[in-house]
Structure formats: C-alpha cells, structure tokens
Chains A and B, each alone.
Chain A
Amino acid sequence: MAALVVPALLLVLLMMVAPMALLFRYSLNIYSATDLMIEAVTLQNYVAAVADPYYREVLATTLRTAFLATVIALAAGFPAAYVLARMQGRWKSILTLITVFPLMVGNVVRAAGWMALLGNTGVVNTALKAVGIGSVQLMYTPGAVVAGIVTVVLPYMILTLAAVIEGIPRNVEEAALNMGAGPLTMFRRVILPLSLPGVIAGSALVFILCMNAYATPVLLGGSRFKMMAPAVYDQFVRTTNWPFGAALAFILLLVTLGLTMAGSALLQRRYAR
C-alpha cells in the first residue's frame, strides 16, 4: 500500500527536485559567449549580481514593494478577517466564497481590471476630472503595482487570519470588555496576541507571494519598473547567460526565505510573554 505514494513522489523528484538542483549547479558555472557555459564551482555570479547597481536596484524595488504590500494587506486584512471569523451561517459561506473566488481567477485577469480602472481615460481619472482635479498618471507607477499586488494577496491574508481568529473563544473578549477594557485595549491586549500565529503565517505567505510577483509588475509597472521574478525570466529569454540567471533565481529564493524566517522569529520573540 505504501507503494501508492511512489508515482507522485517520483514526479516531484524528477520535475521539481532534479531541475532545482540542476539550476543551482548551473549558478556556480561561468558564462561563456561561445560555449554557453564553462563548468566551474565559483560564486562569481552571485558576487556579480550583488555588485551590479542595476540588479541591486531591482532587488531593492522588489523588497520595498513586497514590504509595503504586506503591511497594507495585514492592516486591511485584519478587520476583514475578524468579521469573517465571527460571522455565522449562510452569510459566512457567501463571504468565504467571495474571498476565495478572486484567488482562483488568476493574476492576469485582475491586472487587466486594474488597467481598465487606472488608465488615463479609466474610471479613476474620469472621476478625478469630474471633481476638477484633472488627469493624473496612475498606470505604470509603483503605486499601481502595490495596489495590484495588494488585491492579489489580500484573500490569502484574510483566510489565514480568519482561520486563527475563529479559534479564539468569544468569552475571552467578553471578559476583557466586562472588566472595563475599551474595544481598542481589548483588541491590543487580547485579540492581537492570541491571533499572532495567524499574523505570522499570513504575513510570511503574503510576503513570499509579493516577492515572486510576475504578471502584476510586468503589466502595471511598465518597462522601467523591474522586480526580481521578471528579471529572472528576462535573463533566460532575452540573453543566454544561464549561470547569471540561475544565480539571480537563487538570490531571490534565499532573500525571501531568509527575511521570512527572520521576520517570523522577530514577531514571535516580541510577543512571547
């Protein structure tokens, strides 16, 4: 019976573990314009990527966007998650469906929606003109990318937080309120510490998704706004420098993983009392 797991396991080993190992191996090779690659074991691609001001800026842009989007998603997602968690019956399943649905529709469709909203003759600019502010360039700005990414990741944040908040018994809230705490104090001293695992899990998940965003920055950010995932892709499609592209991919993976773990540990220590 244990053999039933073998086909799926083989697939993951052949199609995920093996190619990732290969990509890592190539990141240690040396690029050659004539032979594509020269076998070597060197870190020079990583050093070159970190030293190059262009890629440093790409990484910085990616980090700024991901941090900002994660913070906004957490702030906006928490109240929504609280309401969803405390809801009951029919409305709860309807609201859950509304939250899950956008996740399944795909990023390209949602980016298209933002393009229609934010374009120079789009809804937002028409409204601004109507109230006399005039047309503002919204598309192809960092703000458009952040708005787009936040809507992409918000459902993940809401669902993760709601799952944890559901587990907090109502009567601890009531106890705090009965003993004279205001709603804000109750939130800060009771709900927030108890929902910390959800805050950590949700922020980590959302941060990872933001760091790896592809369609949203490409479509809403324009050609001058570069994030890491499109940069990795370009490296394989527009140039043939595989070792450098592989190094970029692993820098993205390592930075994301490192910051996610450090952030979780920090949050945990801060509230572990």
Chain B
Amino acid sequence: MAKARTFLWRGGVGAVFTVVLLPMLAVMYLSFFDQEVVSFPPDGYTLRWYVNAWEQREFSRGFVNSLQLAVVATVIGVTLGTAAAYALVRARLPARGFVNTLLMGPLAVPGVVLGTALYVMFVQIDDAIDFQIVATLPGLIAAHVLLTVPWTVRLVAASLAGLHPAAEEAAADLGARPWTVFRRVTLPMMRSGVVAGALFSFIQSFENLELTLLLVGPGRSTLPVAMLNYLEFRVDPTLAAVATVQIVMIGALMLITDRFVNLSRVVS
C-alpha cells in the first residue's frame, strides 16, 4: 500500500516535469523526419531540413537579425543595468525602493501592451518631427534594451549585496583613483553577476516576440516573428529544424549561466 502510494507520487511528479519538456522534445524529434507532412511514425530520418531551413531567407535573415539585435541590446543594457545596480546597492539613493520598482517595471508590464504603447509613441514622434523610428533597427534596439535592464539590475545587485565595501575603501585609502578602484576591485567582485546578467539579457532579447511584433519593419523580421508567421500556416520539419537550433543554442547558454549563478534564485 505504502509502496503503491510512493510509486504513484513519483510517477505523478515525473509526469509534470515530462509535460513541461514534452513540446520541446516533440519539435526536436520532428526536425529529423524524412517526410514533409507531419505524420507518425516517420518514414525515415534525415538532416536535410537543417540545410533547407538555412536556405530559406526568412529564417537565415531572421536568425542574423535576432543575433545582431540581441548582441547590441545586451551590450547597452548590461552597461546601463550594471551602473544602476551599483548605485542602487552602494549609493545613498533617495527613494531607493521606488527607483528599484521602476527599473523592474519592464518585467511587469505585459509585452503586447508595452509594444503597442511604444508603437504609438514612435508613430507620433515620426508625425511630429518627421524622424522615423517605427520599423527601424534603432527603435527595436531601444525597446530590447528595456527588456535587458531589469534582468541585469536584479542579477548584478544580488551579486553585489553580499560583498563588503571594505575592499573598495582599502584600495581608495591606498591611493587608487575611483576609476582604478572600479576596474581593479569592484568589477572583478561583481563579475559573476555581470556575466549572468549578460547571458540572461541575450536570451530574453533573442526569444522575445510580444514587444517585437509591432516594431519590426517589413522584411526585417527577427527569428521568433518569422517562426510565428510561418506557424500560422503549418508546422513542418523545416520549422522544427529552426526551433531545434534555437533550443540547442539557448540550452548551451543556460549551462554556461548555471556556472556563474544559482539559477533557482534568479527566476523567482
């Protein structure tokens, strides 16, 4: 009786974790099917859909666009976010709680609503001073930087909070200039937070759909937008191959991030 209960309990919990992983496993499996129409069991297995996916302009361009966007947004966002986190932890800020809430805001406002609001503002600026932002890369980058700031602030602030400022004070007392103190003492101390912030920011920007939807220009889709447009018609092994590439890439980044920070503390 007790054994049966333990078995049921373990089986149930195992099933929950399996269901979470199931859609990703299904997509990876599908990408190796030898036939174009999705049907089980497959006729055979092949790798040709990976070649086929890369030869489709929307996917190869989308991949390159997403990569560029994520790299630039991460570099800017991590710089801004790290500076802000440092001030948040070490400086005597007026209304620190409020500032922190504001900086975390982009995580709380729903993506579609924020994307819509940005779209409306960009169009109005365009109308008012004839300066196009909608459907341009700078506009999209600015929006994605917004996504990366809260993650960086959270991760860097967490890594700084546990460190004593005495080391920095000692360096300053021994005659180091502020910039030297920052470069030689502070930066190495918060390295793990900065690296984790950068990796998370990159992932967030790369896979973002909702904020991006309204802001991309025609022919300049990011990878998630290209996948969404394709999926509105069908799912096939070519799309599955693209999705698998994204799964593997993000998986690798996660494994690297895991070496720098405790992941369970990051998300909740």
Report A's interface with B, CB cutoff 8 A.
1-5, 7-9, 11-13, 15-20, 22-23, 26, 76-77, 79-80, 83, 93, 95-117, 119, 121-123, 126, 148, 150-151, 154-156, 158-160, 162-163, 208, 211-212, 214-215, 218-219, 229-230, 232-233, 236-237, 242, 245-246, 249, 252-253, 256
Contacts and interface: CB of A to CB of B under 8 A. Distances in A.
Contact of B84 (A9, A96, A150): A9
Contacts of B120: 19, 22-23, 26, 236, 242, 246
Contact of B26 (A113, A150, A163, A219): A113
B245 to A, nearest CB: 10
Interface string B137-173: 0000011011001000100000000000000000000
* Dominant secondary structure of chain A at its interface with chain B: helix
Contacts of A76: 16, 19
A109 B228 CA distance: 9
Contacts of B80: 7-8, 11
Given A22-B124, A105-B246, A214-B210, 5 more contacts: A20-B113, A79-B12, A114-B23, A148-B23, A236-B120
22 contacts: A8-B83, A11-B145, A12-B102, A20-B117, A22-B124, A23-B116, A96-B263, A101-B250, A106-B208, A108-B224, A109-B243, A112-B227, A113-B27, A126-B39, A156-B267, A158-B16, A212-B111, A219-B228, A230-B112, A233-B213, A236-B120, A242-B120
Which of A2, A18, A114: most chain B Cβ within 10 A? A2
A229 B210 contact: yes
A230 B162 CA distance: 43
Interface stretch (B43-51, B52-60, B88-96, B188-196): B88-96
Contact of B239 (A12, A112, A156, A212): A112
Nearest to A102: B20
A215 B229 CA distance: 11
B21 interface: yes
Contacts, number: 273
Contacts of A99: 17, 20, 264
B247 interface: yes
Interface string B70-100: 0000000000110110111011111000010
B119 to A, nearest CB: 6
A143 B50 CA distance: 32
Contacts of A162: 264, 268
B131 interface: no
Nearest to B210: A214
Contact of A212 (B13, B27, B110): B110
A246 B20 CA distance: 34
A76 B17 CA distance: 10
B209 A107 contact: yes
B146 A16 contact: yes
Contacts of A8: 80-81, 83-84, 103, 149, 153
* Dominant secondary structure of chain B at its interface with chain A: helix
Nearest to A202: B268
Nearest to B204: A104
A230 B266 CA distance: 29
A93 B83 contact: no
B116 A160 contact: no
Contacts of B64: none
Contacts of B224: 106, 108
B260 interface: no
Which of A17, A232, A236: most chain B Cβ within 10 A? A236
Contacts of A107: 209
B176 interface: no
Contact of A218 (B26, B40, B232): B232
Given A11-B149, A116-B30, A236-B116, A1 B91 contact: yes
A237 B88 CA distance: 39
A1 B25 CA distance: 48
B187 interface: no
Interface string B105-132: 1100111111011111100100000000
Contacts of A115: 231, 235
Nearest to B264: A96
Contacts of A11: 80, 142, 145-146, 149
B203 interface: yes
Given A242-B120, A252-B110, A236 B214 contact: yes
Contact of B21 (A3, A98, A160): A98
Nearest to B112: A229
